[in-house]
Structure formats: C-alpha cells, structure tokens
Amino acid sequence: MDLSREIATNKYFEPSIELASKEEIKNVQKKRLKYILSYVYERSPFYKRLFKENNISPYDFNELDDIRKFPFTTKEDLIKYAYPYGGDFLCVNREDLVGWHMTSGTTGRPIAGPYTSNDYWTWMKLMARCLVTAGVRKGDILLNLYGYGLFTGGLGFHQSSHLVGAAVIPWGVGRTEALIQTILDFSPTVMTGTPSYQLYVLETLIKKGIDTKKLPIRITIPGAEMWTEEIRRRLEEGFGLKEKNGGSRNVYGATELLGPGSGIECEYENGFHFWIDHFYLEIIDPETLEPVQPGESGEMVVTTLTKEALPLIRYRMRDVTVLDDDPCNCGRKAFPRCKWILGRIDDVIHYRGAKIWPKVIQETLLKFPNVLEYQVEVDRFGTSGFTIKVELESKGSNEEIKRAITSEVRKSLSFINPKIIFVPEGTLPRYEGKSKRIIFLS
C-alpha cells in the first residue's frame, strides 16, 4: 500500500486507526465497551431489564473477555421490543431520531433501524472507509445498483460516495435495457449491487455484443446476499477487472449494524476486514454458544460500540463465517478478516434429516462455465423431492458436460440424491435485486 498517496488523497483512510496494532485497537474496544454497557443500562429499558434478570451490571466489565458474561440479544428481541421507533431498546428521545431504515420483513414483522444524526455520520464515514479500502477514489463514477428506499444498500453507498468524492449514478434496481445504454454513455468505473444483478448486467451486455472487458468498470462491490468465489471469478473475468488493477470486493453489513459498512475486502480479496473499532466481534458455536477455536466456523456475534439510538449487546447475526486474525498484506494488522460468509443459519435447507448450505450448491454448479443459472426446488413433504434445474449455455453444451455436472452434484449432495434437470438458455429467471434460487414447494 502506498501510504503517502493514500494519506494525501483521501481523508477516509485513517492510518492511526486502520494501521494500528492489535493492542491499540483492543484498548479502544475496552474503553468503548465499558462506555456502551453503562450507556444501554442507563438508557434502554430493555437492557436494564435484561441485565437485571441476568444478575449483571456494567461494573462487571473490566477486561475484554468479560463481555462473555453478558446475555445475547436476538432478532426476535428486536422484532418484539424495538418496532417501530426503537421501543424498549431506544436510548434517545424520539425527537433525537432523524430517520429509519427497515428490513424487508419477508418472514414476518420487519426490523426497523432508527438513526440519530450522529448515527448517520458514523455510518457514512464507515461506508467511506469501506469504499476507500475497496479502491474507490475521488473522480470515480459509481453506478449504484443497490435498491433505494427502506433498504440500507442504496442510500448507504450513495451518500458515502459523496464523502469520497466519487460521482454517483443512483440507478437502483430494474430497467436493465435502459441501464445498458447508461453504462455505455456514462462510462462508470465502479459498480455496486447484488452479485446476482451484477451477473445479469454482465450477461445482458455480452448478449448485446459489447466487449465488456473494454468497459472502464474496474471495481465491483457485490453484497446483500450469499455469493461465492465462482461468482467473483465470473465478474472479474467478464469485466476484465484484474487487468485494470481492480476486482470484485465483498462488502458486509446489516440494518441492525447501521447498514452496509461494517466490513469490506481490501485489494487482496482474502475475506472482508471487519471494523472492530466500531463493532466488537465474537464467533460462537450456535449450539453451545461458546467461542469457537481459531479457524473454526461459527456464528457472528456483534456488540455495537458507537451506535447511539439503538446499540446492541452481543447481537446474534445468524451469519456463519470463519475468522482470519493474521495481519493482512494491505497493512491492516488489527482488523481481522471474515472469510466468506458460509450462509445464514436460517437459510440452511433442512431436507429429510439432512442440512444443506445453499452455498455448496452454488459452488458446485458455477464451477462449470457453461452453467448460466440454476434453481432449486425443494419438496420436503411431497413426492417431488429435491430438484436442481440447471440452465446451460446453448453454445458448446453437450452430453459430456451434462454428465460431468451430474456427477459433481451427486458427489457433493450424495446424501439427498437430487434430481437434476437441464433447461435451455434463457429459461430460468434472472434477478435485479436479491436472488431467489431456492424454492420450497412444501
């Protein structure tokens, strides 16, 4: 990393923090944890009650590990006690709030995230830190394909690109035909959006005969859904990102953690750096609730250190990852990297006694360049069973490829004996926002 250039050109790279030692960051965490535990105890009726029920007080916190004495907070708690304005969780007056974002609530009541003015600034600065870490600079043209509105993706990227000095095209999702013309006319250098939509845009450009490698797009920032190294490879090769010293960089976030911006990959693309000066991170075994051994996968548990309206103590994210605590080649020593998100615990497919991570299906299928799209139909209680529809490129797809795919899928999912159906190019749906590749028939 060329530090002199970074410091000279961008104030959202903060060497005193980002290049600090582990000890220095631990001291920051300790101070902030001590403060936030007292803060929620004094201000949030929910936490006052929860701490009392568990016979614990902020005075019981002295060392970092003491955080493990405190109870967890769950999504169910937020749904029950925080909706709509922050409810029992809220640590400020309603009049101190300046806005909300909200989850889609597809599985029930949504989770609403309230913001104070300071919360917005914290979020935007963290997002700006993310953009700079991913390689976005003043002068870039950022095509934002994350949805605008209640979803945090659109506005999160939009507002923070102003801080960095990148020019934003606030496209949102949809109108893909018109989008193609805009890409040709405005020559964006950065593209943000769900990996599914980025792939769809790439596919549409190629279909129109455009040489996508020659487009100025050099960085893409996919997020907001599960994706894999196979999708990264497709995006990087399709847009020729590596040849332009860029790449596809994974971003992480959640409405409960202000939005996107709690972590992002640097130029080394070896897991997203988690900003632990703002979000204290633990990785636990979701069954025993004990910390996992280094290098083992587990559920992310986050304590927000700087949120004002609705701080969270030991919040169970339901996302499973593996942490890499070694110093990164980019110079960040204290900010661990979360290897890929294996998936959401809630997204695991339970099928006749077996547990299947959707990521395994994606990794297996997209290894084959001829596979354009796929869809999984799960009939848990009926007679249709577990069906995987695989859409193949018409050019060059022959019986041999079909046999190879079938054998690979059978190998990785042997325990459920899936049915594999090959469908012609253009048959399966594409996604402008988040993908819906897993369908439950019953």
What does the binding site for Zn ion look like in residue numbers (CB under 5 A)?
266, 268, 328, 330, 332
What's the min distance (Å) between Cβ of 332 and Zn ion? 5
- Residue placing its CB nearer to Zn ion in the complex, 41 or 274: 274
Locate tokens 């969270």: which residue?
312
391: three-class secondary structure by DSSP: strand
What's the min distance (Å) between Cβ of 335 and Zn ion? 8
- Residue placing its CB nearer to Zn ion in the complex, 249 or 359: 249
- Residue placing its CB nearer to Zn ion in the complex, 182 or 270: 270
Two tokens, residue 43 = 């201000």
- The rounded distance, in Å, linking the Cα atoms of 216 and 210 is 12
Sign of CA dihedral 232, 101, 263, 65: negative
| Alpha carbon of residue 230 to chain centroid | 16
What letter would DSSP give residue 177?
H
Q: How many Å is the maximal CA-CA distance in the chain? A: 68
- Residue placing its CB nearer to Zn ion in the complex, 264 or 405: 264
- Residue placing its CB nearer to Zn ion in the complex, 286 or 327: 327
What's the min distance (Å) between Cβ of 213 and Zn ion? 26
Range 164-190 burial, b when 16+ CB lie within 10 A, else e? bbbbbbebbbeebeebbeebeeeebbb
What's the min distance (Å) between Cβ of 263 and Zn ion? 11
- Residue placing its CB nearer to Zn ion in the complex, 75 or 332: 332
Two tokens, residue 301 = 């548990």
Residue 369 burial (CB count, 10 A) = 13
Is the N-terminal amide bond of 84 cis, ω within 30° of 0?
A: yes
- Residue placing its CB nearer to Zn ion in the complex, 133 or 304: 133
What's the min distance (Å) between Cβ of 305 and Zn ion? 21
Give the contacts of 251 (CB within 8 A, at least 6 positions apart).
130, 134, 192, 221, 222, 223, 260, 261, 263, 264, 265, 272
- Residue placing its CB nearer to Zn ion in the complex, 332 or 359: 332
What's the min distance (Å) between Cβ of 283 and Zn ion? 19
CA atoms within 13 A of residue 420's CA, in its CB half-sphere: 22
- Residue placing its CB nearer to Zn ion in the complex, 334 or 361: 334
406, 390 contact by CB (below 8 A): no
Residue 273, beta-bridge partner list: 264, 337
- The rounded distance, in Å, linking the Cα atoms of 292 and 204 is 43
Q: What are phi and psi of 31, to 5 degrees?
A: -60, -45
- Residue placing its CB nearer to Zn ion in the complex, 12 or 386: 12
What's the min distance (Å) between Cβ of 20 and Zn ion? 14
- The rounded distance, in Å, linking the Cα atoms of 332 and 326 is 9
Length of the chain in terms of residues written: 442
Residue 290 burial (CB count, 10 A) = 10
What's the min distance (Å) between Cβ of 106 and Zn ion? 34
Distance between the two ends of the chain, CA-based, in angstroms?
Answer: 52
What's the min distance (Å) between Cβ of 266 and Zn ion? 3
What's the min distance (Å) between Cβ of 216 and Zn ion? 25
Q: Strand runs (DSSP E) across 133-278, as ranges? A: 141-144, 167-169, 190-193, 219-222, 247-248, 251-254, 259-264, 272-274
- Residue placing its CB nearer to Zn ion in the complex, 281 or 312: 281
What's the min distance (Å) between Cβ of 135 and Zn ion? 11
